[in-house]
Amino acid sequence: MRLTQLLRWLGRCLMDRNTWMYEIGRATAEFMDSVDEFITVAETNQLEKGNNAICCPCKKCKNARWYADSTDIKSHLIAHGFMRGYTCWSFHGESVADLNPSVSDNDTDNEEDSYNSDNNVNFDDMFDDLDMEDNVANKYHDRLQQLFVDAERPLYTGCMNFTKLSAMIQLVNLKSNNGWSDTSFTSLLELLNKMLPEGNELPVSTYQAKKLMCPMGLEIQRIHACPNDCMLYRNEDKDLPQCKVCGTSRYKRGKPTDNADSDVSENGPPAKLLWYLPIIPRLKRLFANEKDAKLLRWHAEDRKNDGKMRHVADSLQWKNFDKDFEEFGDEIRNIRFGLSSDGINPFGDLSSRHSTWPVLLCIYNLPP
């Protein structure tokens, strides 16, 4: 499917919805009829997924509250209107593909002509208005919905003070503030689960607690490294048993005479490990949030540009970089990183008993 055609089609659909959802009066017949259309879509999705309730997308509920009766949702929408940016009804069964049924993979229209015919549509502004919930990857959609459900579900039948999620957050805060081990925290959860009424929603292990609160964790890569910092075992070197520079074994071994097995997984723990948090998924999360995306463009849109040194963007290095790489500099959503570290010993002239060093990338685009 061609991206330009997809954006053009989606743009028309979203702009039509923008009109009746946010620009016309909520007392008009057009708004009432369109709300009925939304309720039909929501009820169909409810039946398909077998849910007992439907989340309400009004300005007050923001898809965080669920109602068994769709008439409650309709009255909320008429009274308060739709939450901002919810033109793709992703919490009610829609996806981008659903809004673009007529564009096929075999469409051979000239892509450049198609773009020019609709170049009056400002897609950047249109997508910047979308809320974070509308940009969550499809594989995380059900997990996010479940998080909202847990935020409303009572800890046990009749409980008025705690929901499943709020109780778990307070218990984990206690664990963190008092330095409890995972083992002791699991023992506490098991005991509390027995104390609470039968059928309570409290998790019974630290693992379950973490899965409840962090259903959409970002990827972490664990990369083996040479004990002497010569190389990383990745890409074409990922299966090597020893360093190709110094010949040191990749693994911790009891005896120097131990031979590495051809199966990497059978050789025991690595001698040194690099924990890498990939950058691109984290940038996607930032740009998926309307407020964060606006802050990342602050250096180009809102920064006071009066010739005084107020921000890194006022420096000569920033301007010289824009001059050398014009295409990059012209894109207001570009990202500038600064490398920050603590304790790195690049020349080996400092005594150290360990090698645990954080290396961070700071985003310079953000306001002070």
The reported pTM is: 0.47
DSSP state of 153: S
Q: What's residue 351's pLDDT?
A: 65
Question: Cβ distance 269 to 252 under 8 Å?
Answer: yes
Please identify which residue in the block is written with the tokens 């009610």. 92
Q: Report the C-alpha dihedral over residues 28, 32, 37, 39, rounded to 10 degrees.
A: 150
Examine the pLDDT at 326 and tell me if it is beyond 60. Answer: yes
In angstroms, what CA-CA distances link 315 with 42, 134, 249, 308? Answer: 52, 37, 46, 9
The band of 181, judged by pLDDT with boundaries at 50, 70 and 90, is very high
Top-ranked range on mean pLDDT: pick from 149-153, 277-281, 353-357: 277-281
Distance, CA of 182 to CA of 152 (rounded, Å): 26
The band of 16, judged by pLDDT with boundaries at 50, 70 and 90, is confident
List helix spans (H) across 156-278: 164-178, 182-195, 206-213
Distance, CA of 201 to CA of 192 (rounded, Å): 11
Examine the pLDDT at 202 and tell me if it is beyond 50. Answer: yes
Write out pLDDT tens, residues 216-252: 777 788 999 998 889 999 989 988 888 999 988 888 8
Distance, CA of 239 to CA of 242 (rounded, Å): 9
Q: Using the Cα atoms of residue 167, residue 49, residue 129 and residue 56 in order, give the sign of their dihedral.
A: negative
Q: What's residue 191's pLDDT?
A: 94
Write out pLDDT tens, residues 82-112: 988 788 887 888 764 444 444 334 443 444 4
The residue type found at 252 is K
Least confident of 64-78, 119-133, 146-160: 119-133
